[in-house]
């Protein structure tokens, strides 16, 4: 089974990686997690501080060395904005034999009924909600399974703000991602974050 973990990943941080590792363990020995950077999220169009390709490159650096993790760039080649149903259809067309699970946080799981063609999601993939620190995932008829993951209080918004203020992001992101951010001048003062 391949679990699809989508998001902005602007930037990817240790909280994302911890959740993905816990999800891979919960889903079984053959489970892999594909990180799917959104080209442009419908609800966050103005929020991206790094380009889609830069976010994918940071993900490549972050997942290096973990055989259960991969970066799936399919949304970078689909029309914007990135709708989950379009992504799942494109993946199913490309890989009809692969079993997919859509990995979503408890907050996002509550919003699934408002997503574009929400009723199609469970036909295209199993929907697995991850609950952090006792936060309950909704029983909305679309979520097939709920897994527990550690609660990690790290946010990409906080990381972008720290970079803009010239503060350290060490131990919030993998070292290679921190180096990439510095080398490319991402999220600095005057840059949208």
Residue 171 belongs to a domain: no
Residue 140 CA to residue 13 CA, distance in Å, equals 29
Decide if 12 contacts 38 (C-beta within 8 A): no
Residue 103 belongs to a domain: yes
Residue that has been written with the tokens 């005057």 in this structure: 190
Residue 110 belongs to a domain: yes
Residue 175 CA to residue 168 CA, distance in Å, equals 11
Summarised one tens digit per residue, pLDDT across range 100-146 is 999 998 888 888 889 999 989 989 999 999 987 766 666 667 888 98
How is residue 86 written in tokens?
């379009």
Q: What is the CATH number of the domain that holds 18?
A: 3.40.50.620
Residue that has been written with the tokens 């997690």 in this structure: 33
Residue 146 belongs to a domain: yes
How many beta carbons lie within 10 A of that of residue 189, not counting itself?
A: 9
Residue 87 CA to residue 6 CA, distance in Å, equals 10
Summarised one tens digit per residue, pLDDT across range 60-87 is 999 999 999 999 999 999 988 889 999 9
The H or E element spanning position 111 is: helix 106-111
127: helix, strand or coil: strand
Residue 78 belongs to a domain: yes
For range 162-188, the mean pLDDT: 97
Per the structure, the count of domains in the chain is 1
Residue 106 belongs to a domain: yes
The strand pairing partners of 104, in sequence order, are 129
Instruction: Tally helices (H) and strands (E) across the chain.
Output: 7, 6
116: helix, strand or coil: coil
Residue 167 belongs to a domain: no
The strand pairing partners of 9, in sequence order, are none
Residue 158 belongs to a domain: no
pLDDT band for position 192 (cuts 50, 70, 90): very low
Summarised one tens digit per residue, pLDDT across range 4-25 is 999 999 999 999 999 999 999 9
The strand pairing partners of 131, in sequence order, are 148
Rounded to 5°, the CA angle 122-128-159 comes to: 120
Range of the domain at 17: 2-151
How is residue 22 written in tokens?
């816990």
């Amino acid at each position: 089974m391949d679990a699809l973990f989508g998001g902005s990943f602007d930037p990817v941080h240790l909280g994302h990686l911890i959740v993905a590792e816990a999800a891979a363990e919960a889903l079984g020995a053959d489970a892999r997690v594909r990180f799917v950077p959104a080209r442009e999220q419908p609800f966050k169009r103005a929020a991206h501080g790094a380009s889609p390709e830069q976010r994918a490159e940071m993900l490549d650096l972050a997942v290096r060395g973990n055989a259960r993790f991969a970066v799936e760039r399919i949304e970078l080649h689909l029309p914007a904005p990135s709708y989950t149903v379009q992504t799942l259809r494109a993946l199913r067309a490309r890989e009809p034999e692969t079993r997919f699970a859509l990995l979503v946080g408890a907050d996002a799981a509550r919003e699934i009924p408002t997503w574009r063609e929400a009723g199609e999601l469970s036909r295209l993939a199993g929907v697995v909600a991850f609950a952090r620190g006792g936060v309950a995932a909704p029983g909305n008829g679309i979520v097939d399974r709920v897994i527990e993951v550690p609660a990690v209080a790290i946010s990409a918004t906080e990381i972008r703000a720290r970079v803009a203020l010239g503060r350290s992001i060490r131990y919030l992101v993998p070292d290679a991602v921190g180096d990439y951010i510095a080398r490319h001048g991402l999220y600095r003062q005057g840059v949208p974050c």
